[in-house]
Amino acid sequence: MSAGNFAVFGHPISHSLSPQIHQAFARQFGLELEYRTIDAAPSDFVSAVREFFAAGGRGANVTLPHKASAFALADEVSATARRSGSANVLTALPGGRIAAHNTDGDGMVRDITERHSVDLRGHTALLLGAGGAAHGAAWALLDAGVETLTIVNRTPETADALADAIGDPARAHTRYWEDLADLGAFDLILNATSAGVLGKSLDLPFAIVGNRALCYDLSYGKAALSFLAWARTAGARYAFDGLGMLVETAADAFELWHGKRPDTEPVYIELRKQYS
């Protein structure tokens, strides 16, 4: 059975595992689908998306650096996309209209709490970065019961905007990147920056890592290696990359598009062999 035409947009995008993941999900249901990568520079993103859907595209995943633009171009947005102001899933609607969703936060929390069996309730969390990925994660962390969320970004205005959008200063607040060494230790540290993807080092102080801390990079593979190596050296109890998050968010998109929930664990296990 043919399931239609799908894609993932990013810049760069050739490294993406999304085609492999969605094809694996499709095989679980005997579906055949076309799923490809589309590299679009920021200035070309909107026109590339509209061209894709005008040519019969049914759905698209969106990754760096386009999540805010994906939200902005949509005709309809889900509640999770609206509150985060970003989208990682676009879906064709009748009449040439486009719907935007954000599955980042739910996929991340499901990976941490279900796959890795870590209860987030009561944690003091440090969120590094305030871009599209961080927007998707922030509300989900609060929903999952973290006690406080400290947001730190190299451009403080971006972090302030995210904290203001959350609107809960008792739980979600910002600090300056230059003050990281003086902030104390955290139970949960999430790297939502693009540093690893760009091959850059964050140069983080060990003092922010609590005795039983979970360090989690929203990236995976090579992009997460530096942060995870730092976390292990700092003595973190857990150090995970975002491969499971990627699989879980893909499953949410697949269910949106096909009305069927795939089994994520065998797909995750197979990919883990490649990125162990």
Q: Please identify every residue annotated as catalytic.
A: 67
Q: State CA 12 to chain mean position distance.
A: 16
Instruction: Select from 185, 187, 239 the least CA-distant residue to 207.
Output: 185
Sheet holding 209-217, edge to edge: 172-176, 148-153, 124-128, 186-191, 209-217, 238-240
Nearest-angstrom CA–CA distance, 174 and 157: 10
Burial call 10-45: b when 16+ CB within 10 Å, e when fewer: bbebeebbbbebbebbbeeeebebbbebbebeeeeb
- Residue 217 carries which side chain, given as an amino acid letter? D
- Residue 248 carries which side chain, given as an amino acid letter? E
Nearest-angstrom CA–CA distance, 226 and 204: 11
